[in-house]
Each structure stands twice: as structure tokens, then as C-alpha cells.
Amino acid sequence: MAPAILTGFPLLCVCLLLTSGFAEAGKLLVVPMDGSHWFTMRSVVEELVHRGHEVVLIVPEVSWQLGKSSNFTVKTYSTSYTLDKYNHRFKTFSDFHWNNRETNLLSVVMSSSHEFFQYFFLHCKNLFNDTKLIEYITQSSFDAVFLDPFDMCGLIIAKYFSLPSVVFTRGVFCHYLEEGAQCPIAPSYVPRFFLGFSDAMTFSERVRNHIFHLEEHLFCRYFLKGATEIASEVLQTTVTPYDLYSQTSIWLLRTDFVFEYPRPVMPNMVFIGGINCQEGKSLPQVSHLFFRIVRITGFGQYTKTTTTKTQQNSPLLTEL
């Protein structure tokens, strides 16, 4: 009689072979941000669906373009604002920045930007008030959260459900990218984003760069106060922006390393620059005979034209 372990081994192999196809696909929870941010993320989400992954999109019922696709499952939740109020807030926000091209971080934080984003962060609180949606996420056993970090609700969801998070972004507001990914950027060599300095800063520019870096630590916490208050209420503990950004598993950065200033890069930071560029069309197939005809014809026309002009300009050739 064969041992029990040898009898069950072929059955185990058959089960592994039958389930090998399902192991490649995953279940992904997507928490996008509205506007142009969604346009850049949508192509990636559609490609994931095309490759067999199960994708569930969680969006507020009031939005511009979120979830308007039939390729994946969409779950909505109610909001405390209407589309008219949403449009009015955004118009006030955009008009202010078109009329005031300020680069001072303090002016950006204290302007209508702060009011708009505090208003925008409220939808995450509405999400966690939806008990049916929270129960659905709990029972669905997602493998990871695919999110846009500018809307910090995705980070809060990943921390609340203890799920790995994949961040899809061009950059992170303030200093939380380098601190969250543990790749510090020396202010003496790398200029801050809003200043527009080059990598060859003068001494006065380096001093100003240091001061600006300190301003970020003072005012960015105030700028994200609404989001951290919601996170603290949901998680039942005091939460800082660093707590949310530092839990990121993979950073997908929509830029290229050659366009960035030299800085440390961690293994979980992947540069995907050009992912949203339009694919170039393939070159037409033209035979070598066509190029030979064009070259010979062009050379003959050039020779004939040159000879004619020379004859017109030369008295000797005109007499002959």
C-alpha cells in the first residue's frame, strides 16, 4: 500500500495545473482622481483589464469623467455636494491661478486652493460612511490598491484595509515623495519644484531653496489637514501625511530619470515616462526602386536647372 503522502501528490499536481492560469490574474481595487489625472490612469486600467485582471473602480457619484466605461466594475457612493457646487468650486480655484501666477508656497496654501481641496477631501468621508461599500471591500479580498496619491483617499483605504498600494503619479505635492520613499533630496543641490531653479544654483539660491524646504514642512501639514483629520477619524488614531505616504509598496512615476535632478532612487520606484505618449505610426513600406527613381530624377532636374542658370549668367556660353 502506497504511503498517503505519495497517493495525494498526483492530485495536488493536477490541482496546481488546473489553477495555474488563474494565478496570473489578480483582483485590483482602483481609487482614481477626477479630471486629467483620470485620463492618464484610465489607459493603464484598461490594459490591466485586457490582460485578465479583475478591476473594481470606486468613484463618487458626482464626478466629471470617472467610471464612464463598461470594461470594468464600478462602485459608487453618495457625496455631500452636487455637480453644480463642484463645478463652481473648481472654477473659483482655476480662475484664481490663471489670474495670479504665484510661485510662493505660502500664497498657494493660503489661497482658494486650500478651500477647494478641503472641499474635495470630504468625499473620502462619505465613502467610509457607506457601510455597504465598506462591507463589499472587506469581503472581496483585493490583492492591492491602485491609486492616485493626490487624492489621499486611496492611501487611507490602503491603510484601513491593510492592502499593498501601487501609486501612479507624476509627483507628490510637497516633500512626501522623498520622505515616504526614503530617498532624501539635498536642498543644496536639488531645487524645489515651485522655485524653478537650475541644478547650478548660486549661494543665495541655495539659501532660498533651504528656506523654501522649511516652508514646506510648516505649511504642507496645514494644507493636508482635512485629509489627515478624516484618516485619523477612520483609523481611530492620530495619522500624519508621512504615515500615509510611507506605506506605499510601489511608486509608478510618470516621468523619466534623465529629466530629473540626480537623487537617490529606491528599488520600489519605477520610472514609466512616456506611458501616456501617443504611439507613433509605422513607416510606410516603400521599395528601393522608388528611391532610385526619385534620386535619378532629382539629380537630372538639378543638373538641367544648374546648366540653364549657368548659361544665362555666362556671356561666353551665351555666344556659343
The pLDDT tens digits of the residues spanning 30-81 come to 998 887 788 888 888 888 888 889 999 998 887 777 766 667 888 988 887 7
- What was the pLDDT predicted at 235? 93
- What was the pLDDT predicted at 288? 54
Q: How far apart are CA 158 and CA 177, in angstroms?
A: 17
Can you read off the three cell numbers belonging to residue 18?
488546473
β-pair type (73-77, 54-60): parallel
Beta bridge pairs of residue 74: 57
Where residue 29 falls (left for φ over 0; alpha for ψ -120 to 50; beta otherwise) is beta
β-pair type (250-253, 269-271): parallel
The pLDDT tens digits of the residues spanning 203-234 come to 888 898 888 888 888 888 888 888 899 999 99
Looking at domain 25-271, its CATH architecture is: 3-Layer(aba) Sandwich (3.40)
Can you read off the three cell numbers belonging to residue 215?
516652508
The pLDDT tens digits of the residues spanning 118-169 come to 777 788 888 999 999 999 999 999 999 999 888 889 999 999 999 999 999 8
